[in-house]
Amino acid sequence: MAGNPSGIALSESAGALTVSDSSQRLLDGLDDEQRAAVSSRATTLCVCAGPGSGKTRVLTHRIAYRAAVGGLDPRFAVAVTFTRRAAVELSERLERLGLRDMPVVGTFHALSSRMIASWAEDERRKPPKILPNRAQMLRKVLRSGESIHKAAEELDWAAANNLGASGYQPAAAAAGRNPGFPLWRMAEIISDFGTEKRFLRVCDFNDLLRMAAERLEQDDNLADAYRWGHRHFFVDEFQDLTPAQFRLLRAQLGGRADLCAVGDPDQAIYGWNGADETLLADFASNFEDAQVLRLDTNYRSSAGVVAVSQAIRPSGQSARAAPQNLGDLPEDALSIRRLNDDDAERQAIVEAIQAERLPGEHWSAQAVLVRTKSLVDQTAEALSRAGIPAVAVAGESRWAEGPPPSGQEDAVCVSTMHAAKGREFAVVHVAGLEEGLMPHYLSMDGAALSEEKRLFYVALTRARRKLSLTWAANRSGARHGGRRPSRWLMDLSRTMEASTARRGKIPARIEAAPGAAAPRPRLSASPLNGRALNGERRDLALIRNLMEWRRRQANAARVPPQAVIGDADLHSVASQRPSTLSELELLTSLGEPRIRNFGSRILKIVSEHGGASEDEATRL
């Protein structure tokens, strides 16, 4: 049995190892699911942990618990995280648990660099030089007009999938890649870039994983020595592993499988950058005798936020709010606002941040999450103009590091949804929730669309007490004039209406900006603009009936027809065909009084014309 360098007391009784009181504290305060994961006897364990379920706590407590009962020596353990920030947090937590000796903790890239440098030192040679400026070298191999950014992204994807120049083109075609170059040309760029690196005797960060894996695979003596000193592996965010990282992990493990992996299939959002979500799903197939456990109690979020995020949870698994979080009713956790344009949306966000800030609460308790970098910049600028300190976080890499810039720690975090992963805030404002932005117009089908939904789920589950969601009916610089709300806002509106149906009232949390008029969506084949042209005739018949009903209603009330429902809203109803009062309020600027007075009749007219088409029902 392994020694016990952790310093946590053990005792022997009748030949059986028993854990003393000082070790029992590692299980105290854990729920049943967490306790099972920490104390599992399985050498190969996968923990599928939902948002706020305490995955880092489980990971650190399992390391300490196994050390306490003699299952591992921490000096021979390796804990892999995806950011340096996470590595620092994990190390600090282990220290607080009383470990005297610490595991090796770091990212895959940091561990690879350390391995390569150590081998070079043992062999009395210089370690490889890291390329200081990849963009500068890419300029040498690119032609005029070819994008450095696009080429760099595709180099990363190819490296993440263990692809060289010869294997790139068929793999990229099978994956539906569109790097902005012909695939044959991108293969040339990969080849030329590799030639340049070899000529200058440099490598980039992508090369580190490959080089480390190759040495372990090809040099048995070196691999045996490494594996003797690195016997137990703990990997966080397993759903984000790339094939290249998985190859390295396999090489590090050798024929053993002393591995604890923690991840969440619902938070797999880096497929665009080479991550392979199936590595988590296939864990039990890839590792013999593996045990798979789940953590589904969310200790981060209020019951309301859990209910809202559950409505669009990609896997359909049932999440639970922790008992102490059940005081907040679901309707208190969510507001959805339709704004006339992006300027009005930014102003609404400013006002919401000011209104939601509790007395004495830091600005950093709130965040604004958006889909694209351009929206990050625009929103952060708007907050700064309003006197609200804001820090922009626009990186979408899995390796985005560190806290906000010095001096801006107490600031509203304005971030892309990707960069917000792993963070949490009391209040989260999610903006730009329109078709074409969320989901993004480049990710409208297949695996890409599924990943967009997971990204939205990640954004929602960053919130502890409240979510504020907004969309703009018009957006400057948009690819199309009239915008429509994200399909997932429609899902949430139905959930909200169901939660208030028993009370017999309209969910007032869905709000329209005063006087905002919904644009008439253009009927075209574009996924951003409702149905295709073959539905236009059907819409015209519905429009005629709505106009006739509006005329009679206006005459009876002696008001202009526009006071009942405006032309733009009428066309929006005809093209989008809402089926619930929440959807009607989400899609129009009618507001609660007119929804209360006219909503049921409008929905009845829509229903008499067949409601939503089968295609629409599937898409929404």
Per-residue pLDDT tens digits for 2-15: 444 433 333 333 33
Q: C-alpha dihedral over 185, 186, 192, 195, to 10 degrees? A: -150
> Per-residue pLDDT averaged across 466-470, rounded?
95
Nearest to 312 by CA among 471, 459, 505: 459
Please tell me the predicted confidence (pLDDT) of residue 502.
43
Per the prediction, the chain carries an average pLDDT of 84
The answer to whether residue 423 scores a pLDDT higher than 90 is yes
Question: Where does the pLDDT of residue 429 fall: very low under 50, low under 70, confident under 90, or very high at 90 and above?
Answer: very high
Most confident of 348-352, 400-404, 408-412: 348-352
Who contacts 275 (Cβ-Cβ below 8 Å, separation ≥6)?
Answer: 160, 239, 240, 241, 242, 268, 398
Please tell me the predicted confidence (pLDDT) of residue 583.
79
Residue 598, burial from CB neighbour count under 10 angstroms (0-12, 13-18, 19+): middle
The answer to whether residue 22 scores a pLDDT higher than 60 is no
* Residue bearing the bigger pLDDT, 129 or 321: 129
Please tell me the predicted confidence (pLDDT) of residue 420.
94
Residue corresponding to tokens 């695996």: 447
Give percent above pLDDT 70 in the chain: 83
Nearest to 267 by CA among 20, 455, 501: 455
Q: 59-106: per-residue pLDDT in tens?
A: 999 999 999 988 899 999 999 999 888 999 999 999 999 888 999 999
Please tell me the predicted confidence (pLDDT) of residue 618.
34
Question: Where does the pLDDT of residue 37 fall: very low under 50, low under 70, confident under 90, or very high at 90 and above?
Answer: very high
Give percent above pLDDT 90 in the chain: 59
Neighbour tally for 124: CB within 10 Å? 6
> Per-residue pLDDT averaged across 319-337, rounded?
71
* Residue bearing the bigger pLDDT, 304 or 326: 304
User: Can you tell me the distance from the alpha carbon of 595 to that of 532, in angstroms, rounded to the nearest whole number?
Assistant: 28
Residue 389, burial from CB neighbour count under 10 angstroms (0-12, 13-18, 19+): middle
Predicted TM-score (pTM) of this structure: 0.82
User: Can you tell me the distance from the alpha carbon of 611 to that of 101, in angstroms, rounded to the nearest whole number?
Assistant: 66
Please tell me the predicted confidence (pLDDT) of residue 201.
93
User: Can you tell me the distance from the alpha carbon of 379 to that of 388, in angstroms, rounded to the nearest whole number?
Assistant: 11
The answer to whether residue 506 scores a pLDDT higher than 60 is no
Most confident of 125-134, 235-244, 552-561: 235-244
Question: Where does the pLDDT of residue 611 fall: very low under 50, low under 70, confident under 90, or very high at 90 and above?
Answer: low
- Does the CA dihedral 310-313-315-321 come out positive or negative? negative
Question: Where does the pLDDT of residue 327 fall: very low under 50, low under 70, confident under 90, or very high at 90 and above?
Answer: low
Lowest-pLDDT choice from 32-46, 104-118, 225-239, 544-558 = 544-558
Question: Where does the pLDDT of residue 446 fall: very low under 50, low under 70, confident under 90, or very high at 90 and above?
Answer: confident
Per-residue CA distances from 112 to 80, 156, 238, 397, 537 (Å): 11, 16, 17, 18, 62
Please tell me the predicted confidence (pLDDT) of residue 266.
95
> Per-residue pLDDT averaged across 352-360, rounded?
94
> Per-residue pLDDT averaged across 494-518, rounded?
48
Q: 149-168: per-residue pLDDT in tens?
A: 999 999 999 999 999 999 99
Please tell me the predicted confidence (pLDDT) of residue 440.
92
Question: Where does the pLDDT of residue 328 fall: very low under 50, low under 70, confident under 90, or very high at 90 and above?
Answer: very low
Question: Where does the pLDDT of residue 537 fall: very low under 50, low under 70, confident under 90, or very high at 90 and above?
Answer: low
* Residue bearing the bigger pLDDT, 296 or 586: 296
User: Can you tell me the distance from the alpha carbon of 28 to that of 7, in angstroms, rounded to the nearest whole number?
Assistant: 18
User: Can you tell me the distance from the alpha carbon of 285 to that of 540, in angstroms, rounded to the nearest whole number?
Assistant: 55
Please tell me the predicted confidence (pLDDT) of residue 240.
95
Please tell me the predicted confidence (pLDDT) of residue 218.
97
The answer to whether residue 225 scores a pLDDT higher than 50 is yes
